[in-house]
Amino acid sequence: MATTAELLVDCLEAEGVERVFGVPGEEIEDLLFALRESSIRFHPTRHEQGAAFMADVHGRLTGEAGVCLSTLGPGATNLMTGVADAQLDKSPVVAITGQGGRERLHKESHQALDVVDVFEPIVAWNTRIGESEIAPESVRKAFKLAEYEKPGATHLEFPEDVAAEEIDATPIETRDPVRRPDPDDESAERAARLLEEAERPILLAGNGAVRTRASQTIRSLVDRIGIPVVETYMGKGAISDREAASLMTLDSGPDEEAARAIDRADCVIAVGYDIAEHDPAGWNPDLEKTIVHVDYEPAEVYRHYNPDVEIVADVGAALAAIDERLPDAACSLWCDDLHEQLLESVTEPPAAGDPITVRNCLPLLREAMADSDVLVSDVGSHKMAIAQSFPTYEPNTCVISNGLASMGIAVPGALAADLTTDANVVAGTGDGGFMMNAAELETASRLDCGFTTVVFNDDDYGLISEKQEGHRGEHTGTELSNPDLVAFAESFGIEAYRPEGWDEVEAVFSDAVPSDELALIEIGLE
């Protein structure tokens, strides 16, 4: 016999869980002690939102559900932003929240909320483990649905009296992931013909192109048939930005050259593209483009994204089916020398007199990072610069939240990335997003992580200022003040730097980024 809390932990072990991120609480006491006796490491974080972001980025990088844990009430509601981020960014996450005993859930009681009802709109599935007997099925279903393509977030509520009950049961065995059927032959043939007949076809690689590990198939297709590629912010790395076919992201280029290229395209093959990433009204405003949709799910119904052909199947298999129906060089890199222009504009280092801006810093940061190193971007004006101007050479090496697009993800996300990968990791953040979860630097230090946090500091919610200036010629409600960020980092025992001038910026990037130690670099923007 075991307690239900011990059974639930056995179920987590059966799912291959190695880490759980969260904040302890009274109502999850039995679960915490069960975790202590297991092979799973529980990592206390400084805020539940940080825990959810850690699970989010773990899931995105591995394809295996990250797990976050909180107590009831305020602990559960604090998880919600990170859980919602995982849902819209298609990252597999299982959130577990404690709850008071069932004897008090029918009435108003201390810290009690209907958390299952609260989570309902932001997860793919959730339930209360209201009886001990359903724990194995509930855990198995939570992981199966979280990891099933398209992945997302699921939630389990665990009342404390259920956790303490004894039960004689075992976990449900896991099975191989459910696969989509092969693509429909007729649809693959129609897609191939549309690409071959188009004068200016282009491939749009979205989040799913990276998430489904289809990038190698994309690269093979692109190399053989010769078609330019533009990526969404979350599709960066689907092909290497060194390749002649790459036009980087939809907004790349000093004069938005990539956007002009997709404007000129007459046929778009959208691979793993979610319209939550980037509104198709921006690249199909006149409804004139032929669209081929390749994804695990049918396209959302939207006037500006109404595909002529939809191939709902395994993305890699669908692309292979299209590829085998096309002759070599069936398309053309019709964008002239646009790739070279774009790559030169984002790799040229700043001159001595250039102002210190995010865009001007990125060539130096890129130079300090290996192709396989991982950059986790926060949300703000710096995200736009990273999305548009940071060359990416491998899939899943530039992590950007652009579904929910939540500030505060960079530091906890970099922590998870550091625990997940052997590569060097950089958190790129503004002062606004950094201060939201800056306390997780203590968590990183305690876990002996080694990544570099680059804080672009303008004492402002800069992106909102930019938008207000564009709309009204002035801004309001955005100005901030910050502590001494170098002293703040040093108080955690972290090496910290505040370089001045381009020589110092380059030297600090070169020294800190390849290091295995925690470091913080504050870049004062001009």
pLDDT digits (tens, 9 = 90+) for 122-145: 999 999 999 999 999 999 999 999
> CATH code for 2-167?
3.40.50.970
- Residue range 459-470, pLDDT digits in tens: 999 999 999 999
pLDDT at 109: 66
Contact between residue 127 and residue 136 where contact means Cβ atoms under 8 Å apart: no
Is 62 exposed, middle or buried, given 0-12, 13-18 or 19+ CB atoms closer than 10 A?
middle
> Does the structure show a pLDDT above 70 at 501?
yes
Q: What is the pTM of this model?
A: 0.95
Rounded CA-CA distance 443/42 in Å is 12
Q: How many Å apart are CA 222 and CA 228, to the nearest integer? A: 7
Q: What is the pLDDT of residue 103?
A: 60
Architecture of the domain made up of 348-524: 3-Layer(aba) Sandwich (3.40)
φ and ψ at 244, to 5 degrees? -60, -25
pLDDT at 333: 87
Task: Give residue 107's pLDDT.
Answer: 58
Q: Inform me whether the pLDDT recorded for 498 exceeds 80.
A: yes
Confidence grade of residue 360 (pLDDT, cut at 50, 70, 90): very high
Domain chopping of the chain, boundaries: 2-167, 185-336, 348-524
CA nearest neighbour of 406 among 236, 519, 225, 276: 276
Q: List, in sequence order, every residue forming a beta bridge with 156; answer none if it has no partner.
A: 96, 127
Residue 470 is predicted with a pLDDT of: 94
Rounded Cα gap, residues 81 and 75, in angstroms: 12
The single-letter code of the amino acid at 163 is: A
**E strands within 187-237?**
201-205, 229-231
The per-residue pLDDT for 123 is 98
Topology match between the domains 2-167 and 348-524: yes
pLDDT at 101: 67
Q: Topology of domain 185-336, per CATH?
A: Rossmann fold (3.40.50)
Q: How many helices (H) and strands (E) does the chain have?
A: 21, 20
Q: Which two tokens stand for residue 438?
A: 């800056």
Contacts of 375 (CB under 8 A, 6+ apart): 365, 369, 386, 390, 397, 398, 399, 425, 426, 428
In the chain, % of residues over pLDDT 70:
98
User: Region 235-256: what's the mean pLDDT?
Assistant: 90
pLDDT at 504 over 70: yes
> Residue 111 above 70 pLDDT?
no
> How confident is the model over 43-68, as pLDDT tens digits?
999 999 999 999 999 999 999 999 99
In this prediction, residue 468 carries a pLDDT of 93
DSSP conformation letters of 116-148: HHHHGGGSSEEEE--SGGGHHHHHHHHHHHHHS
Identify the pLDDT of residue 335. Answer: 82
pLDDT in tens, 166-215: 999 999 999 888 777 889 999 999 999 999 999 999 999 999 999 878 88
